[in-house]
Structure 1
Amino acid sequence: MNRLFKIVLLIVTFLCGLYWLWFYVSPAITIVNNSSSDITHANIELPSSRLDFGEIKSGASNTLYYTLSQPRDGSYLYKIITAHEITHQGSCGYVTNNELNKRLKIVITQDNRVLCEID
């Protein structure tokens, strides 16, 4: 029974490690809302897909991961709408195929400016 426990523990540890590794290597986009109003809609268009962040409260953030496989290159196109009906639209950064651990952060500042940071 002790040997069976060790084998099960080893398998569970291995699977948890693979799960963590997947999130480490997958590219991600984070939207940080530092403005005084809630974000009601936030969308990011990639060349081959679309990410919908939904609602983001003031002072909060939301992170979404996307697939490493990007058949086409292109810019990240964002459209962010706040509760005060301010619309932010533009592009930021560039996406290509197999970008391991790429992190894009889009920050809405207190004075309603959009800042893009790529790690």
Structure 2
Amino acid sequence: MKLLYKIVFAVLTLLVVLYYSSFYVLPSITIVNSSAVGVDQAEIDLPASHLDFGSIASGSGNALHHSLTQPKDGVYRYTIKFTDAVETHGSCGYVTDNEFNKRVVIFIKSDHQVSCEQR
């Protein structure tokens, strides 16, 4: 019975390590709202998928991970709807297949200005 507990503990530990290491491997997109206006809805379209960040308060951010497998190459296309009824569209960066640990950060600055940075 003691051996069974050790095996179950080892398997559970392995699963937890694999789960948290996937966050290191998977590419992510982060939106940081540094403006004085809140974001009502933020969405990013990849060539083969769609990410919905929801609302982002002023002074905060949100990050989402996406799949390593991207069947098509292309740019990140964003749509940001602010709480003051202004909507911003644009594109930045480039996404391809198997980009391990790629980090893209989209900064929202004052006056609804958006900039992107790849880390």
Normalised by the size of structure 1, how large is the TM-score? 0.93
Q: Distance in 1 between matches of 2:13 and 2:109?
A: 41
Q: Report Cα offsets for 1:14-39 as digits up to 9, x if no partner.
A: 00011012111111111111111110
For 1:87, the equivalent position in structure 2 comes to 87
Gap runs ≥5 in structure 1: none
Q: Report matched runs for 1:1-119 at 5 Å.
A: 1-119=1-119
Give the Cα–Cα distance (whole angstroms) in 2 for the partners of residues 59 and 9 of structure 1. 41
Report Cα offsets for 1:63-93 as digits up to 9, x if no partner.
Answer: 1111111000000011111111222211110
Q: How much does 1:2 deviate?
A: 3.2
1:79-110 deviation line (CA, Å, top 9, x unaligned): 11111122221111000011111111101013
The amino acid of 2:96's aligned partner reads T
CA distance in 1 between partners of 2:5 and 2:105 (Å): 42
The 1-side partners of 2:20 and 2:30 are apart by 18
Give ranges in structure 2 of 5+ residues lacking alignment: none
Distance 1:110 1:48 in 2: 31
| RMSD, aligned α-carbons | 1.2
Q: Matched residues in 2 for 1:19 and 1:71: separation?
A: 24
Distance (whole Å) between structure 2 residues aligned to residue 83 and residue 8 of structure 1 = 49
The worse-fitting range, judged by mean Cα deviation, of 3-12 and 60-69 is 3-12
**TM-fit CA distance, 1:111:** 4.1
